[in-house]
Structure formats: C-alpha cells, structure tokens
Structure 1
C-alpha cells in the first residue's frame, strides 16, 4: 500500500508543481491533489523538498526510458541526437514557458535539487555517449572523446534554454549545434589521396 500512496502523491504532485511552481506549492496543496490529509502525506514524504526531488527523479526516469525506447527507430546519429534532445530539453522547455516558477529549482535556485539534477544530467550524458561512441572509431584524431562531447552538448543546451525565446528557437539552436558537432566527427579525406 505504501508504494501505491507514493505513486499517487508523485502523480498528483507533478501536476501541482507544473501548475503553481515549487515556491507557491504547499504540502496542503499536494495532499489535496493526492486525495489525502496533510498528516497522511507527511507519513509518505517528510517535506515539500523530498516530494519535489522524487517528482524530478520520476520525471527523469520516464524521460530517459522514453529516449532509450525511441533511439532504435532513428537510423542516423543526427536523428538519434535530435530525438534525445527534443525529449530532454525542448519538451520540458514548454513546461517552463507555462510555469516560469519551475525554472528556479531546476536552474540552481534551490540547493536541495542539485544532486538530483546532477545525477539526471550524468545519466543523460551516458546516453549521448552511447550514440556518439560508434562515430569515434572513424573520427579524426583531433576529435574530442564522446564523454567530453556529451558534456559540451548538455552544458551548451543548458545555456540555450536561458536565451531561447520559444521552443522552436531552442530546437533550431540545438540542431545547429548537433550539425556542427557531427561535422567535427566525420572522417577527413587523407592528404594526397
């Protein structure tokens, strides 16, 4: 029964956080949305930070699972990377547009979420390495290793989210970056050949 309650709270909490943002949400809001009393909610989660972190981890796990399931249907590295970043960065960007209050904890405003965010980014970067690694075998010697490229991509896209005016601009910025990175991994014709 405990797992059922936790799942009910997480499902309800995600919609409440999306609607009101982190700061404006109260434990009372979360309890009401989950159909339970505040004391019952405190038996499942100690505080709002714990609920938010659990929601963030659940959202990340679902997104990563969706990425993993969809990669095989994309035949080229560019399509795989576009798909991964569309789910990882562009789709959540729409949530931020709808609820600007979400930006604060997800962009360094609340220290408690940092560990969950860092773990999510590291896991996503590992997925990117899986896409990029096969290209390393034929890449020029001066090309960066896949792990370093993945790190550059995630950090650059983080910056793009801060400056993009809408999801379409974000997608275009990411696409340009991906084209540039993949061009740097293409084998160069041998001199004199």
Structure 2
C-alpha cells in the first residue's frame, strides 16, 4: 500500500474502532486522516474497498510489529509468547474494546469473505515462516512448519471470534504456548 492509502486505512481502523462499522462514515475517516472525502474515494472507491484496505493494513501493521519484536529475541519461548500475545491476545482485546464488534464480524463474514482470502493466506504463510526454524524438531514429530502455521492460523481466527472472556482466552493461549514449546523443543 502506498503511504496515503496506509494513512487512510489507519484512520479507518481508528474510526471503526471508535464508532463501529455501520456508524463510521467516509467523512469521519477523511477527517481522521486529515484528507478530503474525495481523496478517500480516489484511493478507496467504495466502502468495501476501504474495509479491505483497513483489514489489509491492520494485518500488515500487526505482522510487522510481531516481526520486529521477535527479531530482537533469540529465546524460543519468548518468541512464541510474543507471537501469541500480539496475534491473539491483543487482537482479541482490541475487538472486545470496539463498540458493535459483532457488526464488524458480520460485515466481514458476509461481504468480505472472498475479498480477504488473500490476507488469510498471507497470515498462514507468515506463520509457516515463523516456525520454519523449528522444521527439524517438527519433522521428528511427524509435523511440518506449513502444517503448524496453517493450523495456528485457523485456531487464532476461531479463538478471537469465539472466546467469551479474557480468562478463557488466556487459558487457551497458555495451553497453546505449552504445546508449541513441546513440539519445537
């Protein structure tokens, strides 16, 4: 994404987080981005394109944050903890803080499912790459980095959407961390 599109997508995420998907307007997003409404439409011709851009930007930003954090750490346990915290726990907390998060989930599920398939594929690929340094350990257990990455992606999506409390999410994340440490040891 070009710089102006990123700026608008970031503003879109903030506005949607504050008002909800159905109450966020292109005017609100333009104002938050510090651009004209026409500029928003020039980059994102309609609401669906804008939502796709917001989701893509949010995923890209989240993954860069994870990559930068794990690049600073050699310890396998810390790397996995960072991954789980940033990709699952913080994402879940972010969704819980949004008013009308259920509307966003419904909007994404009904109108954007096919549009965001590329983002889901990229997420699974990034997770596969994250676990590729542990390919030897995984192989000795009959697993692959690709299999672990794809399984985790599907699990993370489900956890963020179906966890009903912080305590439940933390229990599942703790169990997942223990499992990942065991299979990559």
TM-score interval, smaller chain: 0.7 to 0.9
1:155 to 2:154 alignment? yes
Q: Distance in 2 between matches of 1:36 and 1:180?
A: 47
Separation in 2 of the partners of 1:36 and 1:130? Answer: 37
- After TM superposition, the structure 1 = structure 2 runs for residues 24-173 of structure 1, keeping only pairs within 5 Å, are 24-106=23-105, 108-112=108-112, 114-116=114-116, 118-139=117-138, 141-173=140-172
Question: Partners of 2:40 and 2:126 in 1: how far apart?
Answer: 35
Task: Please identify runs of 4+ aligned residues in structure 1 that moved more than 6 A.
Answer: none
Question: Structure 1 residue 17: deviation in Å?
Answer: 0.8
Q: In the comparison of the two structures, how many residue pairs are matched?
A: 183
Ranges in structure 2 where 5+ consecutive residues have no aligned partner: none
Q: Distance in 2 between matches of 1:64 and 1:49?
A: 22
Distance 2:37 2:137 in 1: 58
Partner of 1:165, secondary structure, is coil
Structure 1 residues 24 and 109 mapped into 2: Cα distance closer, same or farther (>3 Å)? farther
Unpaired runs of 5+ residues, structure 1, are 187-193
For 1:22-70, what per-residue CA distance to the aligned partner results, in whole angstroms no more than 9, with x for missing partners?
1222223323434455444323321112112112111211111111111
SS state at 1:115 partner: coil
- The answer (yes or no) to whether the contact 2:92–2:160 under 8 Å persists in 1 is yes
Deviations 1:83-142 (A, max 9, x none): 1121122112122111153344446423235433x3333333333323322323144644
Moved more, 102-111 or 70-79: 102-111
TM-score w.r.t. length of structure 1: 0.77
1:44–1:172 distance in 2 versus 1, CA, 3 Å: same
> So what's the TM-score if we normalise by structure 2?
0.80
1:18 aligns to 2:14 (yes or no): no
State the distance in 2 between where 1:20 and 1:50 align: 19
Distance 1:140 1:38, change over 3 A: closer
In structure 2, how many angstroms separate the alpha carbons of the residues matched to 1:152 and 1:165?
A: 21
Question: How far apart, in 2, do the equivalents of 1:78 and 1:19 lie?
Answer: 34
Q: Could you tell me how far apart the structure 1 residues matched to 2:57 and 2:27 are?
A: 21
SS in structure 2 opposite 1:109?
A: helix
Answer yes or no: is the 8 Å Cα contact 1:139–1:185 preserved in 2: yes
